[in-house]
Structure 1
Amino acid sequence: MRRLGGVLAAAVLCGTAAACTNAPPPPLVPKSEAPVITTTGPKVTEIVVGVDDVAGGYNPHALAAQSPITTALSSLLLPSPFRPGNDGAPQLDRNLMVSAKVTKAEPFTVSYTIRKDASWSDSAPIAAEDFYYLWQRMRAEPGVVDPAGYRLINNISAREGGKVVEVVFGKPFPGWRSLFSNLLPAHLLKDAPGTWSNVLSTGFPATAGPFQVRSLDEPRGEVVLERSDRYWEVPTTLDRVVIRRATHSAMAESLSKGDNQAALLRADAADVNVLKEIEKVTTKPVPRNEVVQVLLRPASERLADVKMRKAIVAALDREALIASGTQSGPSASFRADSYVVPPSRAGYVKTISGNTLDAAASEQLLTEAGYSKAGTEWQKDGKALKLRIAAPEKAEPYVGIANRIKVQLKERGIDSEVVTPSAEDLFSTQLTEKDIDIAVVPRVDAGDTAAALASEFGCAGDAPDGATPSPQNAAGFCDPAIQADIDAALTGKVLVSDVLARVEPLIAAQAVSVPLFQVVDLLGVLPTAVSGVDAGAPFAGVLSDAPEWRRLDR
């Protein structure tokens, strides 16, 4: 191959250097015989989707990067062994995989066979190193989505040039199909300068799917995806999908004029009414895999005492927080009355009822924790109680709810401040330390309920080989009394529904989390212009079905 490359390189050089040949240069074409260049050609078939933002940070495995645009792009540009079906259950993606199955019970081993023609957009094969890279990062990095399943893996090995991947677990893991979604191009990332926080921070170094990125312009707020010529399966009928940032009023106007064929927005009641009034536009709620929650962190010195956490919970008006966060939009119908399962997922059971506000109980608990009221504020040992509330910078509804919590606590005589670090700094650094008392952050569901329970409320531990300690959960919470149940659900010894029935009341008693609601976007579509544009499979995002979209008016 090196010899062949040298020959080709020499040929190219000779083609551009007069010294390589004695042949005369080709004659100039007379102007009268010059070819006519026209600007007409086949019309590009595209669908334009309006969105709230196309902000950077596109790593679907990082809590800091969660957004509809991250979900949309990863569903089209990154390969996954399994994808959610219409019922939400994982289904083998045969565009990528030949097979994936449990091949040994002891030790628990899953074998993945990747199609030989499956490759990244730079022609590198999709292979075992991509599985290995994601495993290493997911078990070691803080602020990742549902790492518990990855921490059960002991080893990953490869056969047949990396196209057969054998994953060996230390314990059985019935939820193994939820792992390795949205594989990343390890050959480009594993030795790249920087840290995990830089992975996909501004774009996609390589993709693998029916579309590729033609342009990603954050300042202009536009992403253009076009049909990938390197895709090994049936090509999409669309030439292009354009994702364009706009205000809600501009989205509505573009839909009414037909300039946009769809729009996806976090809507309030007014937005819902505006879209419904546009002739021929149909609307539908699209739940994200994201539940807004208030974490009261035992890792914080001020909230280490469960009495203090209960006092703060009793000082909060949960109903008012839900109302302010949903603004009577689609999310209002998706109250999160469970600590683990999102309202839109199968298996959701309400375990929380009523409001949390109880001013008398809050005062009693603060007194029992050693605080006394001096004037309008609570003090201990002559020092006023002041809490730090954190929410990711510029992320709504999180920042708005954090400020609402500050007002509610002030009404109870509890002083606080709201800080809004960058999402990356919050999840990777600040929530691994003790400075933050309350965090208004998403609980993100990656598809397996047992893994979500273990990731959100399980104790931190060592990696299976003892090399890398597992990062703690965002709350810094650990209760040995429930850890055995969490482990039993994760390894399939006990049904996860039975474990949730026992564990959720104990989580409530620890006052570590106040779930509020699931974030739900509103999809508006012009069915006279397009077909196939729908909500998509549960949690896969609207664009997950883009390869099947059709433009009707061209």
Structure 2
Amino acid sequence: MKKSLRILALAISSTLLGGALVACQASPGPAPVEEVPETTQQTTQLESTTTMSVEPEDEIEQGRSTVNIGIDPLRNGFNPHLMADDAQVVRDISELVLPSTFDNGVMNTDLLVAANVVAPSSSAVAQTVSYTIAQEAQWSDGTPITGSDFEYLRRSIVDTPGTFNRAGYQAISAIRTSGGGRTVAVDFTTPVEQWQSLFNNLLPSHLLLSQQDGFRTSMFDSIPAAGGRYMVRSIDRQRGMITLARNDRFWGARPAHIELLTFHEARSTSRAGEFLRTGQSAFMNLRPTETLVDTLSLVPGTEVRVSDTDRTLEVVLNTRSGAMGTAKRRAGVLELIDVPLTARLAAGRSSELSVAAETEYVVADDVDKQELTATTPLRFAVDPADDQAVAAGRTVVDMLAAAGIKAVTVPTDVASILAEGLPAGDLDGVITRTRNTTDSLSLLERYGCDLALSGWCEETTQDYLEQVLAGDIDFDPDWARRLNAQQALSLPIITENRVEARTGGIVGPAGDAAAWPGGIASAPNWRKNDTEQ
């Protein structure tokens, strides 16, 4: 077994060396290939996690610059477009590995030469956006990045329940390519003012198309090719480790400085502190615990910061359910939930806890409690891989029981919840993570017909959202709160926050240890601090 592993490691090293030599050439690489590159693999060693080393011995060559990063335990897969996979580490790795057309509204000049709205291709088209991909842009296996990757992402998001930005991709009627696939024209059936938020985190279509249900399942243990500054080298779930290697085929002007990034699970507060104290980690991005901030702050030379994210744990009720079909009943259920208590019990802590703002429902006072107690047990779906959602579900069930309302939790995967349970009305609600952004695409996804988790569909709502989507009217930032107050569609519980900690072992883009825009996503700009011992 050990001999086989050495042979495999030698083959991988040879492949990486070959890729590095090719990257020095001016050409964009060989023609597309269908094989998954050997540089991405799943490690299956069954070592005890109690003796986990931060650096995987068989993967990290001596002398290569390496930074170790502490992360939360791995939960689901690594597809940034799936709600089921959404997690901070997935977002961070996607930023490092996958190419995007725009970053925070600014065009990615490594990937694109130009991107702008042009004259519609016909009278039946409301808007056309043209993208020109850089000739040098390529995946880490040498395959050019083309319009095929745009089309694959669009079709996959539209066809898969539980995806992000679905509203924007559904507005696309056609994607046309020319110039060897490097010029991409996207036609929309309705104007989309925020079109820059589409086609981010492109995926290698040439490797996923041939796999059955590749979009939903093939990235559970890998991202098979990279178009960013790093590439996934290995994912070892048994040891809780992910290794990224610098993508030597990256064609852009600013390749990464650090050669290897190793992510390792910090499975307890004490372990996280020990990793920083002994120098085994230089950076961490973790979910808070009761004592995490205090523990990390005590480590000499460590700076700690806490910040909120755009993810919220909330109870979403299903308007397609017979029991939850009226605003009065929905409000009656949600008003019985003690949000601060649910937040504490779900998170398992009181410190560094961002409890969601109080929600008041205008119809709650008119609820007939006998209506609620007479219904069959309410069914709330939870993702069993999300421990906070599971704990919140149990708490909600107990609170409703105290009011005489029977309820149960239904553990099932997110895809089944969204594709089957909610649309069929078999579930009365779901306790899940949502993104609380207020851009037009997110709002349409949250409250638009055929898209909303809650099943909410109303003509005036749809008309308003489509006008906001097209940029015909200004968005009212208080609109969503008013709608929820009137219709009692959801109850936010916790706004997810993160704890970041860094030592002096790395410095930011200007050589300043205080320069950390973007956290882990800024890793390509990091440098080792040679003065830090």
TM-score by length of 2: 0.81
Shift of 1:102: 1.0
The corresponding residue for 1:162 is 181
- Measured in 2, the distance between the counterparts of 1:74 and 1:178 equals 15
The corresponding residue for 2:35 is none
Q: Cα 1:406–1:139, aligned 2, differ >3 Å: closer, same or farther? A: same
1:232 to 245, 251, 254: 251
2:386 to 367, 392, 395: 395
Q: Cα 1:317–1:151, aligned 2, differ >3 Å: closer, same or farther? A: same
The corresponding residue for 1:328 is 350
2:442 to 445, 452, 463: 452
- Measured in 1, the distance between the counterparts of 2:251 and 2:381 equals 45
Of the two structures, which has the highest relative contact order with CA contacts closer than 8 Å and spacing of 6 or more? 1
1:63 to 73, 78, 83: 83
Q: Cα 1:524–1:418, aligned 2, differ >3 Å: closer, same or farther? A: same
Deviation larger for 46-55 or 70-79: 46-55
Residue 98 (str. 1) matches residue 113 (str. 2): yes
- Measured in 1, the distance between the counterparts of 2:490 and 2:311 equals 15
- Measured in 2, the distance between the counterparts of 1:487 and 1:254 equals 50
3-state secondary structure, aligned to 1:70 = helix
The corresponding residue for 2:19 is none
Residue 46 (str. 1) matches residue 62 (str. 2): no
Contact 1:63 1:427 in 2 (8 A): no
Shift of 1:331: 4.2
3-state secondary structure, aligned to 1:544 = helix
The corresponding residue for 1:128 is 147
The corresponding residue for 2:528 is 551
The corresponding residue for 2:199 is 180
Q: Cα 1:198–1:315, aligned 2, differ >3 Å: closer, same or farther? A: same
Shift of 1:201: 2.0
Shift of 1:151: 1.2
3-state secondary structure, aligned to 1:223 = strand
The amino acid across from 2:141 in the alignment is D
The corresponding residue for 1:214 is 233
The amino acid across from 2:464 in the alignment is D
Query: Structure 1: which 5+ residue stretches go unaligned?
Result: 6-40, 85-89, 338-352, 372-377, 461-471
The amino acid across from 1:484 in the alignment is D
Aligned positions of 1:104-115 closer than 5 A: 104=119, 107-115=126-134
3-state secondary structure, aligned to 2:397 = helix
Q: Cα 1:536–1:474, aligned 2, differ >3 Å: closer, same or farther? A: farther
Shift of 1:230: 1.1
The corresponding residue for 1:465 is none
Q: Cα 1:502–1:229, aligned 2, differ >3 Å: closer, same or farther? A: closer
Shift of 1:190: 2.0
Residue 517 (str. 1) matches residue 494 (str. 2): yes
- Measured in 2, the distance between the counterparts of 1:100 and 1:111 equals 6
Shift of 1:216: 1.1
Give a deviation string over 1:178-221, Cα, whole Å, max 9, x none: 00110011112123223542141221111111111221111111
Shift of 1:323: 3.7
Q: Cα 1:437–1:195, aligned 2, differ >3 Å: closer, same or farther? A: farther
3-state secondary structure, aligned to 1:136 = helix
Give a deviation string over 1:110-160, Cα, whole Å, max 9, x none: 111111011011111100011111111222221111211111111110111
The amino acid across from 2:191 in the alignment is P
Q: Cα 1:528–1:543, aligned 2, differ >3 Å: closer, same or farther? A: closer
3-state secondary structure, aligned to 2:492 = strand
TM-score by length of 1: 0.78
The amino acid across from 2:423 in the alignment is T
Q: Cα 1:531–1:397, aligned 2, differ >3 Å: closer, same or farther? A: same
Give a deviation string over 1:444-501, Cα, whole Å, max 9, x none: 26x77111110011112xxxxxxxxxxx42222212232211111111111112xx43
Q: Cα 1:143–1:216, aligned 2, differ >3 Å: closer, same or farther? A: same
Shift of 1:308: 1.4
3-state secondary structure, aligned to 2:335 = helix
Shift of 1:80: 0.2
- Measured in 1, the distance between the counterparts of 2:329 and 2:116 equals 48
Give a deviation string over 1:289-330, Cα, whole Å, max 9, x none: 312121011122221122211110121112322343453344
Aligned pair count reads 463
1:82 to 102, 105, 112: 102
The corresponding residue for 2:422 is 431
1:194 to 189, 213, 228: 213
Contact 1:398 1:441 in 2 (8 A): yes
Shift of 1:536: 6.0
Shift of 1:260: 0.8
The corresponding residue for 1:307 is 328
The corresponding residue for 1:14 is none
Give a deviation string over 1:366-386, Cα, whole Å, max 9, x none: 33x4x5xxxxxx225xxxx31
Shift of 1:288: 3.2
Contact 1:49 1:262 in 2 (8 A): yes
The corresponding residue for 1:256 is 277
3-state secondary structure, aligned to 1:397 = helix
Q: Cα 1:535–1:408, aligned 2, differ >3 Å: closer, same or farther? A: farther
The amino acid across from 1:92 in the alignment is M
- Measured in 2, the distance between the counterparts of 1:66 and 1:174 equals 25
- Measured in 2, the distance between the counterparts of 1:139 and 1:536 equals 35
Q: Cα 1:481–1:402, aligned 2, differ >3 Å: closer, same or farther? A: same
The amino acid across from 1:523 in the alignment is E
- Measured in 1, the distance between the counterparts of 2:362 and 2:194 equals 37
Contact 1:393 1:423 in 2 (8 A): no
The corresponding residue for 1:379 is 374
- Measured in 1, the distance between the counterparts of 2:467 and 2:516 equals 33
The amino acid across from 1:175 in the alignment is Q
Shift of 1:45: 1.1
Give a deviation string over 1:47-80, Cα, whole Å, max 9, x none: 1011112344111111011111211111111110
Contact 1:142 1:432 in 2 (8 A): no
- Measured in 2, the distance between the counterparts of 1:313 and 1:434 equals 18
The amino acid across from 1:365 in the alignment is D
Shift of 1:419: 2.0
Q: Cα 1:121–1:405, aligned 2, differ >3 Å: closer, same or farther? A: same
Give a deviation string over 1:11-48, Cα, whole Å, max 9, x none: xxxxxxxxxxxxxxxxxxxxxxxxxxxxxx96221110
Contact 2:506 2:526 in 1 (8 A): no
3-state secondary structure, aligned to 2:180 = helix
Deviation larger for 321-330 or 511-520: 321-330
Give a deviation string over 1:203-242, Cα, whole Å, max 9, x none: 1111111111221111111011111121112321111100
Query: Structure 2: which 5+ residue stretches go unaligned?
Result: 1-29, 31-60
- Measured in 1, the distance between the counterparts of 2:184 and 2:353 equals 40
2:291 to 270, 276, 283: 270
- Measured in 1, the distance between the counterparts of 2:515 and 2:346 equals 22
3-state secondary structure, aligned to 1:161 = coil
